[in-house]
Amino acid sequence: MTKVAVAIIEKDGKILIARRKKDDPLIDKWEFPGGKIESGETPAQCLKRELYEELGIDTKVGEFLCSSFYAYSHISIELLSYKVYHLNGEYKVNDHAEIKWVAPLELRRYDFPEADKPIIDKLLKDIYPIDCP
């Protein structure tokens, strides 16, 4: 099983999401930025490396949020999500078709891969709960 670390980055009440490129098996799906954890690498080291490579930013990795398992036809993954804080650097689109800042409640409007959906559920249930009258 491939382990993948993803970042939940918030700015001005919005969360950063990225759309996969056309040459990706999950073409045009939206995702939280991050990547595969390499041998000998911690999830935090992976996120710092991947976010610098993909977005050109330096970050601080915060608390672990949750994990998700999913078996796609081409790969089985364990997705590990972390709260991540932007330290410096301008956001660049190096490895995606585009990036976008969206309000937490807008996340379900985007087409995410199956592995990301439990993370969205966790965010909306425990971190950005909907206020009901």
Q: What is the pLDDT of residues 16-47, one digit of tens each?
A: 999 998 776 667 899 999 999 999 999 999 99
Position 130 confidence tier, pLDDT thresholds 50, 70, 90? low
- For the segment 67-92, the average pLDDT, to the nearest whole number, is 95
Largest CA distance in the chain: 48
- For the segment 52-79, the average pLDDT, to the nearest whole number, is 95
Strands (E), the chain: 2-11, 14-19, 30-31, 34-36, 58-71, 76-88, 98-102
On the question of pLDDT at 131 being above 60, the answer is: no
Residue type, 96: H
pLDDT given at position 42: 98
Matching residue, tokens 């994990």: 67
Domains of the chain: 2-127 (3.90.79.10)
Q: What is the pTM of this model?
A: 0.91
CA distances from 105 to 13, 94, 112, 120, 130 (A): 11, 27, 14, 9, 8
Contact 6, 32 (CB under 8 A): yes
Residue type, 78: E
d(CA 61, CA 24): 26
